[in-house]
């Protein structure tokens, strides 16, 4: 066998609030549009309120005393991890993964030495997805299942090495592929995947160059990987294997996997890459191939649902602060200076929000989840005018997807199928210039776009640790026979999730949540609507 590693790319009044945020829809798998509308405008709960699960046929009637049990059964079904044993009748073998070589007599008559290490995870271990019990759907950031905000335990599979594995390490060929755009920490994950594979005893490890393109592009050959080769790649940014967007048809990728005799495929990437990994997993199952496809979530936008964070996000926030600090210094040093910083965030404003909150130097933070007006009495431009009048300078931070409704949409998409966004940063720069010129007030605008500087840097300590654990757990998951899963962190615990549950739609900032409230408190900005 060989192992390859690849890296890429309604409800009435108060009742409508309990299923308001986008994150709730992802977390619980229910659709607001499928809920029965209230027959009156009273806040009293309707006699029968059913919500259909997006990934099952199950319907919940909250007046049914057994609805919690049905919900948990549905949850367990949706979060059950796919395994190669679903299509193969395989017998497990004792793991080859152990961190201790020490052996000692047990005191038994036969004095048979046994391993002293006890660091394995049981297949029955679970971690709670959420730990806060909200008393009311009107509580800040409330995530509720039913209108009464009932507490229901939601368990997910704990990640880590198992005592039993389903591959013979010396027969495995493993491959690693990195897809999508660059992200801090890619090399850290590649490194740890290789290290952990070798700890199991795998000797045939390859890297697929330049994303999924490496499976079909002529002239792109798989790269043999070893501990000695990847030992220091974490000291640099970028991807040791290279990245690209898009790729061939799923069937062509699986054809290549078959031809290369790959047994494990580790896919590093974001939302689109996870969808691609799931398609590869499905095609492998369709062909009854004994191939474990395991994803590792990579996106600096932090926009994959259910997870605490994805690797690269902490580093992106830290680097974004440098840009914000530069804008602050420029603005404060200029007469009527305005520092304008555009940060990444294709569909969510997590980087902009966290960078603004952590820097403490931002006066206005604009994210795609919260609509805003530039013009008018309550618009952003009027607020900037007041800031210049009162303090003499100001700093604005805007996420790249913010305010797209104010711009002309080209309708173009990139190779991954993502919409190419209009440049809100340049648009705001011109609007600010025009506004202050129109009122006869001098304004010195300093515009900073650090996008590629943020993506290309080396992972910081926090992300490096996260990458290390995610990479190791990805290998543990593959050897445990799981496929179609992603290695991630939820509620501070490292877990495995089915890829199907994290590709529904991007995670977005909850504008009713406490973190956004904290950001507003820090900036002091009003409602720009």
Annotated binding site for substrate: 299-301, 344-346, 400, 452-455
Which pLDDT band holds residue 296 (cuts at 50, 70, 90)? very high
In this prediction, what percent of the chain has a pLDDT beyond 70? 84
Annotated binding site for ATP: 181, 245-246, 270-273
301 catalytic, yes or no? yes
Digit-coded pLDDT (tens) for 33-47: 333 333 333 333 333
Q: Rounded to whole angstroms, how far apart are CA atoms 73 and 69?
A: 6
Q: Rounded to whole angstroms, how far apart are CA atoms 401 and 347?
A: 6
Predicted TM-score (pTM) of the model is 0.85
pLDDT at residue 99, rounded to an integer: 74
pLDDT > 80? residue 411: no
Contact 304, 510 (CB under 8 A): no
Among 418, 478, 351, 367, residue whose Cα is nearest residue 180: 418
pLDDT > 60? residue 521: yes
CA distances from 260 to 1, 278, 342 (A): 10, 19, 43
* Mean pLDDT, the chain, whole residue set: 86
The enclosing H or E element of 52 equals strand 50-52
CA distances from 459 to 242, 243, 465, 513 (A): 16, 17, 9, 28
Annotated binding site: 181, 245-246, 270-273, 299-301, 344-346, 400, 452-455
Strand segments, DSSP code E, in 68-191 are 93-94, 103-104, 114-115, 126-128, 155-158, 164-165, 173-178
pLDDT at residue 246, rounded to an integer: 80
Digit-coded pLDDT (tens) for 152-201: 999 999 999 999 999 999 999 999 999 999 999 999 999 999 999 999 99
pLDDT at residue 346, rounded to an integer: 85
Exposure string over 225-257, b if 16+ CB within 10 A, otherwise e: beeeebeebbeebbbbbbbbbbbeebeebbbbb
pLDDT at residue 242, rounded to an integer: 94
Contact 394, 387 (CB under 8 A): yes
Annotated binding site for Mg(2+): 271
Q: Which of 74, 146, 282, 301 is catalytic?
A: 301
Q: Rounded to whole angstroms, how far apart are CA atoms 48 and 60?
A: 10
């Amino acid at each position: 066998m060989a192992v390859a590693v690849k890296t890429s790319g309604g409800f009435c009044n108060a009742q409508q609030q309990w299923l308001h945020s986008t994150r709730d829809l992802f977390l619980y798998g229910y659709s607001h549009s499928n809920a029965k509308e209230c027959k009156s405008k009273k806040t009293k709960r309707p006699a029968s309120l059913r919500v259909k699960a997006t990934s099952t046929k199950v319907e919940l009637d909250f007046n049914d005393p057994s609805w919690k049990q049905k919900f948990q059964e549905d949850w367990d079904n949706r979060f059950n991890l796919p395994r190669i044993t679903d299509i193969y009748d395989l017998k497990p073998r004792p793991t080859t993964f152990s961190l201790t070589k020490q052996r000692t007599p047990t005191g038994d008559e036969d004095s048979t030495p046994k391993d002293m290490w006890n660091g394995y995870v049981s297949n029955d271990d679970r971690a709670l997805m959420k730990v806060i019990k909200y008393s009311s759907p009107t509580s800040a950031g409330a995530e509720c299942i039913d209108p009464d905000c009932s507490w229901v335990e939601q368990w997910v599979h704990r990640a880590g090495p198992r005592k039993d594995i389903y591959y013979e390490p010396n027969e495995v060929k493993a491959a690693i592929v990195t897809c999508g755009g660059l992200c801090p920490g890619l090399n850290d994950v590649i490194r740890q995947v290789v290290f952990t594979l070798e700890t199991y005893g795998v000797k045939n490890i390859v890297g697929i160059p330049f994303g999924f393109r490496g499976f079909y592009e002529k002239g792109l050959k798989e790269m043999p990987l070893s501990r000695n080769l990847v030992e220091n790649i974490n000291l640099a940014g970028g991807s040791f294997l290279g990245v690209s967007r898009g790729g061939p048809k799923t069937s062509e990728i699986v054809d290549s996997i078959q031809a290369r005799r790959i047994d494990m495929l580790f896919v590093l990437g974001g939302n689109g890459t996870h969808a691609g990994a799931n398609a590869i997993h499905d095609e492998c199952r369709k062909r009854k191939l004994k191939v474990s496809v395991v994803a590792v979530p990579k996106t600096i936008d932090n926009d994959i649902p259910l997870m605490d964070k994805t690797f690269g996000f902490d580093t992106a926030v830290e680097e974004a602060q440098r840009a914000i600090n530069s804008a602050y210094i420029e603005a404060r040093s200029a007469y009527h200076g305005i520092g304008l910083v555009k940060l990444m965030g294709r569909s969510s404003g997590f980087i902009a929000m966290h960078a603004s909150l952590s820097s403490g130097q931002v006066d206005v933070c604009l994210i795609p989840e919260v609509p805003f007006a530039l013009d008018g009495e309550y618009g952003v431009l009027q607020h900037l005018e007041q800031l210049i009048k009162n303090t003499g300078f100001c700093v604005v931070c805007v996420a790249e997807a913010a305010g797209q409704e104010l711009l002309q949409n080209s309708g173009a998409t990139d190779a991954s199928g993502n919409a190419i966004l209009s440049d809100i940063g340049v648009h705001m720069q011109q609007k600010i210039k025009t506004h202050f010129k129109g009122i006869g007030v001098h304004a010195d605008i300093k515009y900073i776009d650090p996008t590629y500087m943020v993506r290309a840097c080396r992972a910081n300590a926090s992300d490096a640790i996260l990458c290390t654990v995610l990479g190791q757990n990805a290998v543990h998951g593959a050897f445990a026979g799981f496929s179609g899963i992603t290695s991630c962190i939820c509620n501070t615990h490292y877990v495995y999730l089915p890829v199907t549950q994290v590709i529904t739609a991007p995670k977005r900032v909850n504008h009713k949540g406490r973190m956004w409230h904290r950001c507003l408190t820090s900036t002091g900005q009003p409602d720009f609507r």
